[in-house]
Amino acid sequence: MGGDELRLRAARQGQLQQVPAVQAQNGPAVGADVPYCILGGTALAEGIGEKLTPLPPIPACRILIAKPDAGVSTKYVYEHLDLTVLNRHPDIDGMTAAIRGGDLAGITGRMENVLETVTIPAHPVIADIKEQMLRLGAENSLMSGSGPTVFGGFRDPESAGTGRFGFRNTGISDCRSIIRSFPACRAVF
């Protein structure tokens, strides 16, 4: 979620034109998601996020973003992630094929985040936000990274616009705001 800020910082430091060098030399040392945040666009991230393969933009849709007041420690999430008990794993090959094929339903149908198995039990409001986004018409809804931010993908711009106000009277009191609705989607998988 910090891509724009990182690109702005890189531009101010005169490093934006040197993205490959910044990725290789500085990105992973600062954080696993830094190379992607600097690169932007749609990409397949491998390794710890330092190996990026650009992909075509995903089909036009609207993204709605909600961030509850919960604070989440990425370190805590990764320390408590137990890969041996996961019964589902993201379909990376299927997701990549759906992106390349421009298949929004194929993309949203394959959205998975194994980190939800740790973060949602610690912060149930994330599940409440995901459910509310689905009730408001999102094709799917997912926690971003280790959380707590949640996003929903909407095929219909009007549903996304309505969704912005759909959190006002839902009982999700610690959801501060819907940040914005984007005219097109960008994603990293």
**Model's pTM, two decimal places?**
0.74
Q: Where are the domains of the chain?
A: 1-55, 56-189
> Alpha-carbon torsion 172, 173, 176, 179, what sign?
positive
Calculate mean pLDDT across residues 69-83: 90
Given a cut of 70, whether residue 72 has pLDDT beyond it is: yes
Q: Is the model's pLDDT at 22 over the cut of 50? A: no
Q: pLDDT tens digits, residue range 91-136? A: 999 999 999 999 999 999 999 999 999 999 999 989 998 998 898 8
Residue matched to tokens 């600097």: 38
Q: What is the mean pLDDT of residues 37-66?
A: 84
**CATH class of this structure's domain 56-189:** alpha beta
d(CA 23, CA 34): 7
pLDDT at 29: 57
Residue 120 confidence (pLDDT): 96
Least Cα distance to 147 among 91, 76, 50 occurs for 76
8 Å CB contact between 182 and 58: no
Question: What six digits make up the tokens of 174?
Answer: 């610690």
* More confident call, 135 vs 28: 135
